[in-house]
């Protein structure tokens, strides 16, 4: 499908069924994240893939979003502030922005492959870092479950609600 159709069609899936995702598709999702543009190409991010039962159980203990449990893989994306480009004029650090671009590209790839996902921001990052010390130096941006959507999975009623272009765009 063309990009605008993909972007408009994708929604936050909150109902998954049990089922596997082929490694080939997981690799494509990761590749979509790896090719994301970052400020000055510093790539100050890390992607973690939680697929083992043990790792997922630990991760699930750090969020109230239990609907993600059937997802066969849950990605976490983090940024490393001391590895990011910093705009010299105002010292704006681009690490979180870079990791957000990575997450967005992965999310769009997931939809393009026919799976569901949702950007989870409601999780205890400190608890997750204690369970997975390799995450300690990162600012954890998102959890991104990937799964097969249930037949009755549907977008939120807010999915198509948006402010108008007049409200959001100013041509100078």
Q: Where are the beta strands (DSSP E) in the chain?
A: 16-17, 45-50, 73-79, 139-146, 148-149
Phi, psi of 169 (to 5 degrees): -125, 135
d(CA 33, CA 25): 13
Check residue 125 and give its pLDDT.
98
Check residue 146 and give its pLDDT.
98
pLDDT in tens, 108-134: 999 999 999 999 999 999 999 999 999
| pLDDT greater at residue 18 or residue 143 | 143
Residue 55 has pLDDT above 90, yes or no: yes
Check residue 160 and give its pLDDT.
82
Please, are residues 16 and 148 in contact by the beta-carbon 8 Å criterion?
A: yes
For residue 42, name the pLDDT band (cuts at 50, 70, 90): very high
Indicate the average pLDDT of the chain: 96
Check residue 159 and give its pLDDT.
82
pLDDT in tens, 57-70: 999 999 999 999 99
Check residue 124 and give its pLDDT.
98
Domain interval for residue 84: 3-168
d(CA 134, CA 79): 13
Residue 135 has pLDDT above 80, yes or no: yes
Q: What is the CATH number of the domain that holds 132?
A: 3.40.109.10
What's the number of domains the chain is made of? 1
Summarize the confidence of residues 26-46 as an average pLDDT: 98
Give which of 27, 46, 18 is closest to 110, Cα–Cα.
27
d(CA 51, CA 69): 11
d(CA 150, CA 67): 11
Q: What percent of the chain lies above the pLDDT cut of 70?
A: 100
Check residue 155 and give its pLDDT.
84
What's the predicted TM-score (pTM) here? 0.94
| pLDDT greater at residue 155 or residue 138 | 138
């Amino acid at each position: 499908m063309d990009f605008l159709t993909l972007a408009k069609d994708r929604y936050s899936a909150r109902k998954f069924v049990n089922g596997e995702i082929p490694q080939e598709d997981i690799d494509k999702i990761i590749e979509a994240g790896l090719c994301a543009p970052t400020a000055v190409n510093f790539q100050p991010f890390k992607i973690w893939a939680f697929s083992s039962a043990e790792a997922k159980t630990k991760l699930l203990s750090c969020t109230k979003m239990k609907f993600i449990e059937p997802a066969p893989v849950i990605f976490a994306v983090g940024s490393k502030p001391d590895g990011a480009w910093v705009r010299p004029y105002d010292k704006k650090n681009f690490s979180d922005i870079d990791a957000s671009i990575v997450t967005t590209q992965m999310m769009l790839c997931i939809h393009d492959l026919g799976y569901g996902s949702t950007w989870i921001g409601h999780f205890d990052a400190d608890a997750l870092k204690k369970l997975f010390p390799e995450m300690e130096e990162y600012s954890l941006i998102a959890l991104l479950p990937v799964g097969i959507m249930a037949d009755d999975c549907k977008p939120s009623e807010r999915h198509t609600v948006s402010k108008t272009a007049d409200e959001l765009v100013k041509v100078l």
